[in-house]
Amino acid sequence: MKNSKALLSLLLLLISTTVFSQVLTTVEPDSAIQCQQLTITVTGENTNFYQGTSALWLQLGYSSINPATTNVISPTEIEGEFFFSPDNAAGIYDVHAYNGGGSGDMVIPEGFTLSQVDNQPQLINSVPDTAITGDTIVIIITAEYTHFDSPNITNVVKLRSNVAQYLHPLMLTEIDSESIEASFYINPNLQIFGNYDLYVSNQLDGNLILSDALYIINGGNTPEIISVDPNSAYQGEELKLTVTGTNTLFQQGSTSLRLYKPGAGVIDSENQYVVNDSIIEGDFIFNSDHDTGLYNIEVVVWGLTGVMSLQEGFHLLSEGESPYLLSVNPSSTKEGTRVILIIKAKNTHFDMAGNTPSVTLIQGYEELYCQDIVVIDSVTLEANFVFSYENYLGYHDLEVYAPLDGTLILEDCFDLIESEPNASIVSVNPDSAYIDDQITISVTGKNIIFMQGTSNLSLKQGSLSISPINQEIINDTTITGKFSFLNTFPTGKYDVNIDNWYAWPAMNLQNGFTLELFDFIDESDKLTLLTVYPNPSDGFLTIKRNFGSGETYHLTVFSQSGNITYNDELLGDETIKKLNLTHLKPGSYYLKIKGDNNEQVSSFIIK
In this prediction, residue 517 carries a pLDDT of 81
In this prediction, residue 14 carries a pLDDT of 43
Residue 6 has pLDDT above 90, yes or no: no
In this prediction, residue 393 carries a pLDDT of 96
Asked: is 224-317 a CATH 2.60.40.2470 domain? The reply is: no
pLDDT in tens, 172-215: 999 999 999 999 988 877 778 899 999 999 999 999 999 999 99
Bridging pattern class, strands 104-115 and 91-99: antiparallel
> Of the ranges 104-118, 180-194, 283-297, 435-449, which one carries the lowest mean pLDDT score?
180-194
Neighbours of 603 (CB within 10 A): 14
Distance CA(529)–CA(523), nearest Å, equals: 9
Give the fold, CATH level 3, of 122-217. Answer: Immunoglobulin-like (2.60.40)
Tell me what the mean pLDDT of segment 335-351 comes to. 95
Task: Find, among 439, 562, 474, 460, the residue nearest to 513 by Cα.
Answer: 460
Task: Find, among 486, 482, 393, 392, the residue nearest to 436 by Cα.
Answer: 486
Would you say 341 and 383 are in contact if contact means Cβ atoms under 8 Å apart? yes
Half-sphere exposure of 512 (CA within 13 A, CB side): 24
In this prediction, residue 337 carries a pLDDT of 95
> Of the ranges 157-171, 464-478, 485-499, 591-605, which one carries the lowest mean pLDDT score?
591-605
Confidence of residue 4 (pLDDT cuts 50, 70, 90): very low
What average pLDDT is seen over the chain? 89
- 3-state DSSP of 246-300: ECCCCCCCCEEEEEEECCCEEEECCEEEEEECCEEEEEEECCCCCCCEEEEEEEE
- Would you say the CATH fold of 424-516 matches that of 22-115? yes
Distance CA(592)–CA(572), nearest Å, equals: 17
In this prediction, residue 528 carries a pLDDT of 65
Q: Which residues contact 14 (CB under 8 A, 6 or more apart)?
A: none
Cα 592–chain centre separation: 50
What b/e string do you get for 220-248 counting C-beta neighbours within 10 Å, with b at 16 or more? eeebebeebeeeebebbbbeebebbbebb
pLDDT in tens, 524-559: 334 467 788 888 889 898 888 876 667 888 888 888
Which run of H or E residues covers position 577?
strand 576-580
In this prediction, residue 20 carries a pLDDT of 60
CATH of domain 523-606: 2.60.40.3080
Bridging pattern class, strands 279-285 and 271-276: antiparallel
In the three-class reduction of DSSP (H, G, I as helix; E, B as strand; rest coil), residue 2 is classed as helix
- Return the higher-pLDDT residue of 521 and 382: 382
The domain at 22-115 falls in which architecture?
Answer: Sandwich (2.60)
Provide the edge-to-edge strand list for the sheet that holds 530-533: 530-533, 540-545, 576-580
Neighbours of 291 (CB within 10 A): 14
Residue 576 has pLDDT above 50, yes or no: yes
pLDDT in tens, 210-268: 999 999 998 877 788 999 999 999 998 899 999 999 888 888 888 999 999 998 889 99
Every domain of the chain and the residues it spans = 22-115, 122-217, 224-317, 324-417, 424-516, 523-606
Tell me what the mean pLDDT of segment 571-585 comes to. 88
Asked: is 424-516 a CATH 3.40.640.10 domain? The reply is: no
Q: Which residues contact 470 (CB under 8 A, 6 or more apart)?
A: 481, 482
Cα 600–chain centre separation: 52
Task: Find, among 489, 503, 491, 494, the residue nearest to 457 by Cα.
Answer: 494
Tell me what the mean pLDDT of segment 24-50 comes to. 94
Residue 1 has pLDDT above 80, yes or no: no
- Return the higher-pLDDT residue of 17 and 35: 35
- Return the higher-pLDDT residue of 101 and 68: 68
- 3-state DSSP of 102-170: CCEEEEEEEEEEEECCCCCCEEEEEECCEEECCCEEEEEEEEECCCCCCCCCCCEEEEEECCCCEECCC
> Of the ranges 132-146, 164-178, 372-386, 571-585, which one carries the lowest mean pLDDT score?
571-585
Give the fold, CATH level 3, of 324-417. Answer: Immunoglobulin-like (2.60.40)
pLDDT in tens, 491-503: 889 999 999 988 8
Confidence of residue 422 (pLDDT cuts 50, 70, 90): very high
Distance CA(607)–CA(587), nearest Å, equals: 7
Phi, psi of 113 (to 5 degrees): -115, 125
Tell me what the mean pLDDT of segment 40-49 comes to. 92
